[in-house]
Structure 1
Amino acid sequence: MPRTVDKASAAPEGAAEQAPRSRSRLIPTPYLLIIPSVILLAVVLLWPIVQMVWYSFTSFTTRNLMPNQPGPEWNGFGHYQTLLTDGDFWTILRNTVVVCVLMVGITMILGTLIGILLHKLPKWFSAIVAIGMMLAWSTPALSASLVFRWLFLPERGLVNVTLDRLPNWLVGDGWLQYNWFLEPLPLFTILISVIVWQSFPFVAVSVLAGLKSIPSELYEAARMDGANAWKAFWNVTFPMLRPLFALLLVLQIIWDLRVFTQLYILANSFQNKDVYLLSYYIYQQGFTASPANYGMGSAIAVVMTVMILAVTAYYLRIMIRQGETR
């Protein structure tokens, strides 16, 4: 008599589990849980961006905020055409790019060197120095800017008094009355000093954490091959920390492009457009102009946002190409 085979017992062991699993995949529980966060992000982040873009295409001013006033007129690309033909805008854009490159470059180089130095110091001393640097990093931008402004004030600033007391053959004379905040070169020098002083501790501590994750055997092998410190950095440290350096670079570019508080405190009064950066140009057009032109300020903000998005997209493209987003 032929033996009947039970289909249920003959099925693979995992077949019984596949049905419940496939049914559970149809239940959108993870998506339901993430919907509140997506809605919150859309309200907090996406809606202001949409509103900014819309304002940039209109002639929205303070008059449109008054009751019983008509809405803003549609201006199309008028604000963008004005920017493209405005010599002041191109000067401010050039200043912004140059200052940002200097701030980012000095911050990355100084932070990397100090991070390597901390890695070579004893652990207890490295921890003390790292804590001290993070205090500078956590100092509010307003407080740091006020301190640097007091240091460079005419007549009573520490820097001016010190330079005035040095021999004239060494630094010249007239330093006591010198105003550092009127011309682009001295003002941007102080601005870069403030930003670097506050930014390099984050880079240094991040590099220090990355260095601790690199196996010491790699450096021993490099030394056995006759590599000096410079070659060891480019052949071992940099390839291992490339994703970290890329992330720090992008973050610094984004932060430094949006510098506003430090410039506002240092300059105190913006009578010279040569010391404007895009961040302050947005504020000047959107709030202090008479009348305040929200449309033009929004157009400048859109240009800055596009610059930031371009940097971020380039970073993501590199990370995806290198397979480092996983």
Structure 2
Amino acid sequence: MAQTAEVTTPADPAPGPGRDPKAGRADHSLLRTILKKTPPYALIAPALIFLAVILLWPIAQMVWNSLHGYTIRHLSPAGPDPEWNDFEHYIRLLSDPGFWSILRNTVLVCVLMVGITMVLGTLVGILLHKLPQWFSTVVAVGMMLAWATPAMSASLVFRWLFLPGRGLVNHVLESLPDWLVGSGWTDYNWFLEPLSLFSVLITVIVWQSFPFVAVSVLAGLKSIPNELYEAARMDGAGGWRSFWNITLPMLRPLFSLILVLQIIWDLRVFTQLYVLANSFQNKDVYLLSYYIYQQGFNASPPNYGMGSAIAVVMTVMILIVTAYYLRIMIRQGETR
């Protein structure tokens, strides 16, 4: 009679004397749970470490610099170590009337840039949605070329347009009737006074920013069923009521995201202002972005600690805007 050999696997050893079989099963269950949960975290660990090094370390270094007296003499290996000065930079900054004036200008200019960009981009996006497909595509590609133009190139072009004596804008304004725009525009310098300089700056930023908003809105409009607008027209709703009751609610997450991005981008405007002003003899035309550069690199001597303190203030402003956006998204249940 043939006998069958019983094969035992090493993975499941027979419980010996004094060993609880339930404990062995519990150990295997715990091991399987760990193996199931470990791979996802192990896969994203390198990315998390990379982001921590790229993002968190510069922020920590910025905060550290803002709490020390850190100038150019501390950069030399043979120089002294930066002195801990507690919150002296922040106290000096918050007690300086010039800082509050610069902060006010930054907020006002940012609100104007973001508001005009959002309104113009939304209107252009709606217009593109109503155009024929081929024509809408051509116009969208043309607009995106403006959005893709480097900030330095766009700023130089607009500076040439508004140059006193040779700028095209000055000559066009001078050729118009005096009763309409006045006279003396040929030699008018747009880059000395805050109102005129900020007007040109807002023009540059809006020109480069609204194509992104328009194309984003166009993509969002294509996702809204046309039956909703047909039902609204049958109920007698006009264009404004359809936008308010259909378009805006359907695209609210998109509008919220674009709004936050525009605020963050426009708060950090530096290149355009630097190129347009060419030289900053008038402190009234400073924005926070340039104030950081002026204190940290262009002062005599450069004060990296004060520049870092201003950068911390700007970072806190951006984080507040981002936190407010996330709060709205969580309330609306749109993060799930």
TM over 0.5: yes
Q: Which residue of 1 aligns with 2:329?
A: 319
Q: Which residue of 2 aligns with 1:289?
A: 299
Secondary structure at 2:69's aligned position in 1?
A: coil
Aligned counterparts of 1:256 and 1:224: Cα–Cα separation in 2: 41
Pair 1:221-2:234 in alignment:
no
Cα–Cα, structure 1 residues 20 and 208, in superposed 2: closer, same or farther, change >3 Å? farther
Return the match for 1:103 from 105, 113, 118.
113
- Structure-to-structure mapping, 1:251-270, within 5 angstroms: 251-270=261-280
In structure 1, list runs of 5 or more residues that go unmatched.
Answer: 1-18
Cα–Cα, structure 1 residues 20 and 120, in superposed 2: closer, same or farther, change >3 Å? farther
Return the match for 1:308 from 300, 314, 318.
318
Q: CA deviation at 1:325?
A: 0.7
Runs of 4+ in 1 over 3 A off after TM superposition: 19-25
Alignment-mate amino acid for residue 296 of structure 1: M
Aligned counterparts of 1:171 and 1:216: Cα–Cα separation in 2: 45
- Structure-to-structure mapping, 1:146-157, within 5 angstroms: 146-157=156-167
- Structure-to-structure mapping, 1:271-286, within 5 angstroms: 271-286=281-296
Q: Percent identity?
A: 77
- Structure-to-structure mapping, 1:37-56, within 5 angstroms: 37-56=47-66
- Structure-to-structure mapping, 1:237-252, within 5 angstroms: 237-252=247-262
Aligned counterparts of 1:277 and 1:147: Cα–Cα separation in 2: 21
- Structure-to-structure mapping, 1:1-326, within 5 angstroms: 23-27=31-35, 28-326=38-336
Q: Alpha-carbon deviations, 1:112-163, whole Å to 9, x = none?
A: 0000000001000000000000000000000000000000001111011122
Aligned counterparts of 1:173 and 1:127: Cα–Cα separation in 2: 42
Alignment-mate amino acid for residue 50 of structure 1: A
Alignment-mate amino acid for residue 164 of structure 1: E
Cα–Cα, structure 1 residues 190 and 24, in superposed 2: closer, same or farther, change >3 Å? farther
Q: CA deviation at 1:25?
A: 3.6
Deviating more after overlay: 29-38 vs 94-103: 29-38
Aligned counterparts of 1:251 and 1:21: Cα–Cα separation in 2: 46
Q: CA deviation at 1:289?
A: 0.3
Q: CA deviation at 1:170?
A: 2.5
Alignment-mate amino acid for residue 26 of structure 1: I
Aligned counterparts of 1:244 and 1:107: Cα–Cα separation in 2: 15
Alignment-mate amino acid for residue 54 of structure 1: W
Q: CA deviation at 1:22?
A: 7.2
Q: Which protein shows a greater Rg?
A: 2
CA RMSD in angstroms, aligned pairs only: 1.3
Q: How many residues align?
A: 308
Aligned counterparts of 1:259 and 1:55: Cα–Cα separation in 2: 23
Aligned counterparts of 2:264 and 2:29: Cα–Cα separation in 1: 44
Alignment-mate amino acid for residue 327 of structure 2: R
